Structure 1
Amino acid sequence: MDLDLHDIIEVLHAAARSVGAEVTSPWFYLQLGLVMAGAGAAFAAGAAIRSQVDTASLAERWPAPLKQFMRVLVGCASTAVFALMMALARAAMLVSTWPSRSYLLSVAANLALAWLVIRLVTSGIRNSFIVRVVSLSAWLVAALSIVGRLGPTIDALDSVSVVLGDLRLTPLLLIKLGILLVVALWLTNIVSNFIDNRIARSGDLTPSVQVLLIKMIRTGLMILAITVAMSAVGINLSALAIFSGAAGVGIGFGLQKIVANFISGIILLADKSVKPGDLVTIGDSTGRINEMKTRYISVAAGDGREFLIPNEDLVTQKVTNWTYSDKNTLVKVIFSTNYDADPRLVCKLATDVAAAALRAIKHKPPNCILTEFAESGMKFSLTLWIADPDGMDNVKSDVMLALWDAFRRETIKMAYPVRELRVHGGALPVETVVEASG
Structure 2
Amino acid sequence: MDFINADTLTTLNRLWAQVEIFFNSMFLPSRIWQIGIILACFAVAHLGRLWLAPKLDNWARGRALSTRQMRWVILLRQRLRGLLFILLAWAAVFALNALKGFYSWRFLVVLAATLVTAWLVVGLVARLIRNRALRQIVTWGAWIWVTLYYLGFWDEVERLLASLGIDFGGFRITALAVLKAVVLTTVLLSVARIVTGQTTARLRTNAEISPSMTELVIKVMQVLLYGSAFFIGLKAVGFDLTGLAVLSGAIGVGLGFGLQKVVSNLVSGVIILLDKSIKPGDVISLGETFGWINSLGARYVSVLTRDGKEFLIPNEDLITGQVVNWSHSNEFVRIDLHFGTAYHDDPHTVRALAIEAAQSVGRVLSDRPTVCHITGFGDSSVDYVLRFWITDPVEGLTNVRGAVYLALWDSFQKNGISIPFPQREVRMLDGSSLAVHRNDENSQSKN
Instruction: Calculate the TM-score normalised by the size of structure 2.
Output: 0.73
Matched, 1:119 2:119: no
Segment drifting more, 161-170 vs 15-24:
15-24
**CA distance in 1: counterparts of 2:330 and 2:149, whole angstroms:** 68
Residues 41 and 88, structure 2, Cα contact 8 Å, conserved in 1: yes
Q: Superposed, which structure 2 residues align to 1:5-154 within 5 Å?
A: 7=10, 10=13, 42-53=45-56, 72-82=75-85, 111-120=115-124, 122=125, 125=128, 127=130, 129=132, 132-154=136-158
| Counterpart secondary structure, 1:308 | strand
CA distance in 2, matches of 1:330, 1:395: 12
Q: Bigger shift: 218-227 or 290-299?
A: 218-227
Q: Is the 8 A contact 1:279 1:323 kept in 2?
A: yes
Percent of matched pairs sharing the same residue: 31
Displacement of 1:400 in angstroms is 0.9
Q: CA deviation at 1:318?
A: 1.6
Residue 210 of structure 1 is aligned with which of 194, 210, 214? 214
Corresponding residue of 2:285: 281
- Counterpart CA distance in 1 for 2:228 and 2:83 is 40
State the 1:241 CA deviation: 4.0
Matches within 5 A, 1:144-223: 144-164=148-168, 167-200=171-204, 202-223=206-227
- The question of whether the paired residues in 2 share the 8 Å contact of 1:351 and 1:368 is answered with no
- AA at the equivalent of 1:223: G
**CA deviation string 1:406-430 (max 9, x = no partner):** 2212333322343445563445749
* 8 A contact 2:212–2:279 mirrored in 1: yes
Change (3 A) 1:84 1:406: closer
> 2: distance between equivalents of 1:118 and 1:409?
76
1:243 and 2:247 correspond:
yes
| From 306, 315, 322, the counterpart of 2:319 | 315
> 1:301/1:158 Cα in 2 relative to 1: closer, same or farther (>3 Å)?
same
Q: Would the alpha carbon gap of residues 36 and 309 (structure 1) be closer, same or farther in structure 2, given more than 3 Å must change?
A: farther
CA distance in 2: counterparts of 1:66 and 1:401, whole angstroms:
50
Other-structure match for 1:360: 365
User: Which stretch of the first structure deviates more once superposed, 322-331 or 66-75?
Assistant: 66-75
Query: 1:138: Cα distance to partner?
Result: 1.4
1:92-127 per-residue CA deviation (whole Å, 9 max, x = no partner) reads: 9xx9xxx99x9999986665343224335x278374
1:50–1:74: 8 Å Cα contact kept in structure 2? Answer: yes
Q: Which amino acid aligns with 1:371?
A: G
The size of the alignment, in residue pairs, is 420
Q: How far apart are residue 139 of structure 1 and its match?
A: 0.6
Q: Tell me whether 255-264 or 106-115 shows the greater mean CA deviation.
A: 106-115
Deviations 1:15-34 (A, max 9, x none): 99889989999xx9999999
Please say if residues 279 and 289 of structure 1, whose CA atoms lie closer than 8 Å, have aligned partners that are also in contact.
yes
Q: Is the 8 A contact 2:374 2:382 kept in 1?
A: no
SS at match of 2:393: coil
Unaligned runs of 5+ in 1: 433-438
Judge conservation of contact 1:338–1:414 (CA < 8 Å) in 2: yes
Distance in structure 2 (CA, Å) of the matches to 1:159 and 1:103: 32
Cα deviation for residue 141 of structure 1 reads: 0.5
1:399 lines up with 2:399 in the alignment? no
Say whether 1:411 aligns with 2:413: no
Give the secondary structure class of the aligned counterpart of 2:419. Answer: coil
Alpha-carbon spacing, 1:356–1:12, altered in 2? closer, same or farther (3 Å): closer
Structure 2 unmatched ranges of 5 or more: 429-434
Q: 1:327 aligns with which of 328, 331, 341?
A: 331
Q: 1:404 to 1:108 in 2, by over 3 A?
A: same
Distance 2:224 2:153 in 1: 40
Q: In the alignment, which of 300, 303, 308 is matched to residue 299 of structure 1? A: 303
Q: CA deviation at 1:399?
A: 1.6
1:16 to 1:194, Cα distance in 2 relative to 1, 3 A: closer
Secondary structure of the corresponding residue to residue 303 of structure 1: coil
TM-score (norm 1): 0.75
